[in-house]
């Protein structure tokens, strides 16, 4: 009897352990979904392809015949289910898969700078993947190393600055362009003239977005100020909501954020404030949603995969803007400045307007650039590296290393 | 710093305090019976995701809360079966519960990430009480869950210190063999304590996804289950002291963003270390104190009970 009981318990223990193990592998299982999804979309594609472009198809078939099958892999730093950065990269992956018909796969929650990343990339290479997208800043050095060791595999790194001449490029988006337009919507919407900005870390990417947003807000409402609250996390809804409430308490009636969750929007809704999102259209999740600067990686991923297919791939440092479709913003018709926002968007697309053109002052009132957009002071990035000297024009290098707040921002760039 | 920002701070202190207190109170009950459960973080995640799902399905926050509570209790029963019934190592089983729970919650919540909250707990309006300056806004406008947490704290304290049931629970946690020889079922008592602990951790998770930060995303518990585990030690396994600790640790969480608007230059990263540093400090104090007196920790904590091994 006792023996039987012990056997039963041992069985139960094995079952429990298995359940826990299976649960822990929950996110891995989605990798399979990603791969198998390729079959569906390939089928869908053959249906659609006839209607689109015959010459394109012929070209692709030739390339495939020469260079073998193209398979694209994606490495992501956090769960794709976070509704933010990684979610939009996965949307881009699915879009590119549908557009090109190639097989794609991904792994998410891969830590930066560790053995996890090396294992994931090596596994993809061993499985015959020949285009690998690494979508987090901290993957940069490891991606460079893999690119050097695997000349037959194309590597594209997102949000970094390293590349080589043969098989390693990088890409990022000029998110500051739609941020400026979002700022216009905020400037027109605020009645207290204080806009709250929940932000992750004081790095150039985030600082640049805050500055563009503030310039946009002040363009339509010179009295508007933007108060920044740093959370020191990309993703923590509790902390983000807490920071958002702090800004509401400090008098903000419009909130926006540079985070990966919609917690700021939830607080804005509860407080009767207006919410401007980021990353994706959050209108379905947040009642107080007005608009959001959004990513769309589909076109870029499709272009890279097609260029590998037809053998025309050449590494580049790609910084796409609204004109390229990589970033954009939907203009809410309800906004009193919808017309102006449309005009500015049009001018940005045509190259007639640049967000950081003209005279710019820092938050203490010191002049940074003159009316022609040339520096009147030497500038360095937040890490102390020189990025521009007196007389230099405001160029991409300065934008990429931006370490000061413009006039109208309340908060410290020290974080 | 003005009246609005100060009131906002105190509201947030009570909100984060409620979140931490529910989970820590449950862990206190489990540990009082001699079972260490390091699975709080996982149980919170499971409770949080199931409650959020139930909210989306039913639109009723109370049903959602109940679902989170039941899910937490059922999930914690795994730990009970493995460590209490089968006598496996409590630390290993608890850690498995955390890792497995976070994975399970992510798996359940895959399609919930883009869902807007279906139900949420709103601030209560207690009429004239809520109109009292300061106190009305801070205390009498909290969600119903905060009041439940307070009530559960008082009940737990009464049961532990004033009833036969509490005596049995403490006896099992102090000396399982003595309790066994007096006719108490050690396994049954510990299983119930572990599942009450799971239920409260589930309620804490539900409070997170239905009230504090409505919505579901993987990783939304963000380590707060571990703060709750530390809180139990900080509060010396006493419901009252754990409550004071919850307000203190909740206060630290609430302060993080507000110090910036108050113009105080302390890194939020340093601030988020404080709960753990304070817990270590309390551990040191407790061990110094207990040199001459019996330890405040339940004596049998962490050890499985097998009658044959006696």
Whether A27 and B269 lie within 8 Å, measured CB to CB? no
Segment A230-237 shows an average pLDDT of: 88
Nearest CA in chain A to B77: A16
Query: Distance of CA A158 to CAs A96, A210, A244, A300, Å?
Result: 16, 21, 28, 11
Closest CA to A227 of A408, A396, A364: A408
d(CA B67, CA B54): 7
Q: Given an 8 Å threshold on Cβ–Cβ distance, is A412 in contact with B260? A: yes
Interface mutation vs chain B, best among A83, A237, A247, most B CBs within 10 Å: A237
Q: Which residue has the tokens 């496996």?
A: B88
| pLDDT score, position B149 | 98
Whether chain B has a CB inside 8 Å of the CB on A411: the answer is yes
Q: What is residue B239's predicted lDDT score, i.e. its pLDDT?
A: 96
Q: Is 0.80 surpassed by the pTM of this model? A: yes
Give the closest of A23, A238, A250 to B261, CB-based.
A250
Tokens read off for B144: 């119903």
Ramachandran area for residue B36 (φ above 0: left; ψ -120 to 50: alpha; else beta) = beta
Nearest CA-CA partner of B173 in B157, B189, B162: B189
How is chain A split into domains, by residue range? 68-173+295-329, 176-292+330-410
ipTM, 2 dp? 0.84
d(C-alpha B198, C-alpha A13), whole Å: 19
Q: Does domain A176-292+330-410 have CATH number 3.40.50.2300?
A: yes
Triad B202, B205, B206: Cα angle to 5°: 85
In chain B, residues with a C-beta closer than 8 Å to the C-beta of A236 are 219-220, 222
Instruction: Please report the pLDDT score of residue A94 as a whole number.
Output: 96
Q: Please say if the pLDDT value at position A55 is more than 50.
A: no
A263 — contact with chain B (CB < 8 Å)?
A: yes
Q: Whole-angstrom distance between the N-terminal and C-terminal Cα of chain B?
A: 61
For B65, B100, B293, the CA distances from B208, given in Å and listed in that order, are 10, 19, 39
Task: Supply A362's token pair.
Answer: 């820092």
- B263-269: long-range contacts (C-beta < 8 A, 24 or more apart)? B265/A412, B265/A414, B267/A232, B267/A415, B268/A230, B268/A231, B268/A232, B269/A232
For residue A68, name the pLDDT band (cuts at 50, 70, 90): low
| Strand, coil or helix: B241 | helix
- Within 10 Å of residue B90's Cβ, how many Cβ atoms? 25
Contact (Cβ atoms closer than 8 angstroms) between residue A117 and residue A136:
no
Residuewise pLDDT in 10s, chain B (310 residues)? 688 889 999 999 999 999 999 999 999 999 999 999 999 999 999 999 999 999 999 999 999 999 999 999 999 999 999 999 999 999 999 999 999 999 999 999 988 877 888 999 988 888 888 888 888 989 998 999 999 999 999 999 999 999 999 999 999 999 999 999 989 999 999 999 999 999 999 999 999 999 999 988 888 898 899 999 999 999 999 999 999 999 999 999 999 889 888 878 777 778 778 888 888 888 788 788 777 777 788 988 988 888 766 4
Tokens, residue B192: 């119930």
**Whether pLDDT at A67 is above 60:** no
Average pLDDT score, chain A: 85
Where does the pLDDT of residue A32 fall: very low under 50, low under 70, confident under 90, or very high at 90 and above?
Answer: very low
The C-alpha of B254 sits at a distance from chain A's nearest C-alpha, in angstroms, of 7
pLDDT at residue A53, rounded to an integer: 39
Q: How confident is the model at residue A268 (pLDDT cuts 50, 70, 90)?
A: very high
Q: Please tell me the predicted confidence (pLDDT) of residue A383.
A: 84
Local confidence band at A165 (pLDDT 50, 70, 90 cut-offs) = very high
Contact at CB, A9 and B86, closer than 8 angstroms = yes
Domain ranges of chain B: 3-295
Tokens found for residue B269: 């990263």
pLDDT value for B309: 62
| A5 part of contact set with chain B, CB < 8 Å | no
Q: Are A139 and A116 in contact (CB under 8 A)?
A: no
Q: Which CATH fold topology does A68-173+295-329 show?
A: Rossmann fold (3.40.50)
Q: What is the rounded CA–CA span in Å between residue A132 and residue A315?
A: 13
Which residue reads 């984060």 in tokens? B16
d(CA A29, CA A37): 13
Give phi and psi for A389, each to the nearest 5.
Answer: -120, 165
Residues B103, A27: C-beta atoms closer than 8 Å: yes
Give the number of residues written for chain A. 415
CA-based max dimension of chain B? 65
pLDDT greater than 60 at residue A8: no
Look at residue A13 in the predicted model and tell me its pLDDT. Answer: 52
pLDDT exceeds cutoff 50 at A56 = no
Task: Answer whether A68-173+295-329 and A176-292+330-410 agree in fold.
Answer: yes
Using the predicted structure, report yes or no on whether residue A38 has a pLDDT greater than 50: no
Q: Which CATH number fits domain B3-295: 3.40.470, 1.10.3470, 1.10.1670, 3.30.40?
A: 1.10.3470
CA distance A1 to A7: 10
A130-142 average pLDDT score: 94
User: Percentage of residues in chain A with pLDDT exceeding 70?
Assistant: 83
Could you say which of B8, B78, B220 has the minimum Cβ distance to residue A237? B220
Structure tokens given for A145: 């190393």
Q: Which residue of A has its CA nearest to B83?
A: A13
A373-385 pLDDT, tens digit per residue, is 999 999 998 888 8
């Amino acid at each position: 009897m006792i023996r039987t009981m012990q056997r039963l318990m041992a069985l139960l223990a094995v079952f429990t352990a298995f359940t826990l193990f299976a649960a822990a592998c929950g996110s891995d299982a989605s990798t399979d979904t990603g791969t198998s999804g390729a079959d569906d979309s390939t089928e869908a594609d053959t249906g659609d392809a006839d209607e689109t472009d015959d010459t394109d198809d012929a070209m692709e078939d030739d390339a495939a015949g020469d260079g073998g099958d193209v398979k694209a892999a994606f490495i992501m730093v956090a769960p794709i289910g976070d509704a933010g950065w990684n979610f939009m990269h996965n949307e881009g992956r699915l879009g590119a898969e549908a557009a090109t018909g190639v097989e794609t796969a991904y792994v998410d929650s891969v830590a930066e700078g560790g053995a996890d990343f090396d294992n994931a990339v090596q596994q993809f290479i061993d499985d015959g993947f020949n285009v690998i997208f690494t979508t987090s800043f901290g993957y940069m050095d490891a991606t460079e190393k893999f690119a050097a060791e695997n000349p037959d595999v194309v590597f594209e790194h997102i949000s970094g600055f390293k590349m080589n001449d043969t098989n390693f490029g990088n890409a990022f988006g000029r998110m500051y362009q739609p941020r400026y337009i979002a700022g216009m919507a905020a400037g027109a919407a605020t009645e207290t003239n204080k806009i709250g900005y929940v932000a992750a870390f004081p790095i150039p990417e985030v600082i640049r977005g805050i500055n563009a947003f503030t310039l946009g807000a002040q363009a339509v409402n010179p009295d508007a100020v933007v108060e920044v609250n740093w959370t020191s996390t990309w993703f923590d809804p509790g902390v983000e909501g807490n920071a958002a409430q702090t800004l509401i308490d400090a008098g903000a009636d419009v909130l926006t954020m540079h985070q990966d969750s919609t917690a700021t929007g939830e607080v804005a809704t509860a407080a009767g404030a207006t919410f401007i999102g980021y990353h994706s259209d959050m209108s379905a999740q947040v009642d107080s949603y007005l608009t959001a600067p959004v990513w769309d990686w589909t076109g870029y991923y499709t272009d890279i995969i097609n260029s590998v297919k037809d053998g025309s791939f050449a590494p580049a440092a790609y910084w796409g803007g609204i004109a390229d479709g990589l970033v954009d913003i939907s203009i809410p018709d309800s906004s009193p400045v919808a017309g102006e926002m449309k005009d500015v968007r049009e001018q940005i697309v045509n190259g007639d307007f640049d967000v950081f053109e003209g005279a710019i002052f820092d938050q203490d009132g010191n002049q940074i650039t003159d009316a022609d957009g040339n520096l009147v002071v030497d500038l360095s990035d937040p890490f102390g590296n020189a990025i521009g000297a007196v007389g230099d024009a405001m160029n991409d290098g300065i934008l990429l290393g931006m370490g000061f707040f413009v006039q109208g921002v309340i908060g410290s760039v020290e974080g | 710093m003005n009246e609005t920002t100060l009131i906002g701070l105190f509201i947030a202190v009570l909100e984060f305090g409620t979140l931490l207190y529910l989970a820590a109170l449950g862990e206190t009950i489990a540990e009082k019976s001699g079972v260490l459960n390091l699975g709080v973080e996982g149980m919170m995640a499971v409770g949080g995701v199931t409650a959020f799902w139930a909210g989306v399905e039913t639109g009723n926050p109370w049903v959602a809360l109940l679902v989170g509570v039941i899910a937490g209790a059922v999930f914690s029963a795994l730990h009970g079966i493995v460590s209490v019934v089968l006598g496996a190592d409590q630390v290993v089983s608890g850690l498995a519960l955390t890792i497995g729970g976070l994975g399970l919650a992510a798996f359940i919540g895959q399609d919930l990430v883009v869902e807007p909250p279906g139900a949420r707990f709103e601030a209560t309006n207690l009429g004239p009480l809520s109109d009292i300056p300061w106190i009305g806004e801070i205390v009498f406008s909290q969600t119903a869950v905060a009041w439940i947490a307070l009530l559960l704290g008082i009940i737990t304290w009464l049961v532990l210190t004033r009833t036969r049931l509490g005596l049995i629970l403490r006896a099992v946690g102090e000396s399982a063999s003595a309790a066994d020889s007096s006719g108490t079922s050690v396994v049954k008592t510990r299983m119930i304590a572990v599942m009450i602990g799971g239920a409260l951790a589930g309620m804490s998770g539900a409070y997170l996804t239905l009230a504090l930060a409505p919505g579901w995303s993987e990783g939304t518990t963000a380590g707060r289950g571990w703060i709750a585990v530390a809180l139990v030690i900080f509060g010396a396994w006493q419901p009252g002291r754990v409550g004071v600790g919850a307000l203190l640790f909740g206060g630290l969480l609430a302060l993080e963003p507000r110090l910036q608007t108050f113009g105080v230059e302390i890194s939020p990263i340093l601030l988020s270390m404080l709960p753990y540093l304070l817990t270590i400090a309390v551990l040191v104090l407790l061990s110094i104190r207990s040199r001459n007196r019996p330890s405040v920790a339940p004596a049998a904590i962490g050890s499985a009970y097998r009658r044959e091994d006696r």
